[in-house]
Amino acid sequence: MSESTAELRSFSFVLAVPDLQRSAAYFRDALGFRLEWPEGSGWQLVSRGDVRIMIGHCPDAMPPSATGDHNYFAYLNVDDADALHGELINRGAVILQAPTDRPHGMREFVIGTPDGHRMMVGQELPVGN
């Protein structure tokens, strides 16, 4: 089998949500994302920095909260986990776990959405901590 020369580039995560307007407002207001697409298409692209998330209106899909640990969809790297955590707390974001230093060398916290999706946020700890 020959090796592919096609390169993959990050575009975005894709989420099914039961209420597109509510989810778009949460990503904008509580998480600080920009709404990128016009309303009316059944989809909304939200972006913050290099992170892009396509949220699609899927009112009949299984709720993410019913999928247990499978409702994690992203691991986001940041330079300052505590600063982002503080910002998100002030914005009213759903924080499921406060920043904690982990044995694998990351300081991590967990963000939730009103529908039950979860994102892990991590910052590399200095070597030797």
Q: Say if residue 47's pLDDT is above 80.
A: yes
So where are the chain's domains? 13-61+69-124
Alpha-helix residue ranges (DSSP H) falling in the chain: 20-29, 81-91
Percent of the chain residues topping a pLDDT of 90: 75
d(CA 61, CA 72): 16
Collapse the DSSP code of 60 into the 3-class scheme (helix H, G, I; strand E, B; otherwise coil) and give the result.
coil
What's the CATH class of domain 13-61+69-124?
A: alpha beta
Residue 3 — very low, low, confident or very high, per pLDDT cuts 50/70/90?
Answer: confident
d(CA 26, CA 47): 13
More confident residue, 11 or 47: 47
What's the predicted TM-score (pTM) here? 0.89
Which two structure tokens, joined as six digits, stand for 117? 């999706």
Q: How far, in Å, are 70, 74, 84, 107, 124 from residue 127 at the CA level?
A: 31, 24, 21, 12, 9
Q: How far, in Å, are 20, 50, 114, 120 from residue 23 at the CA level?
A: 5, 19, 7, 18
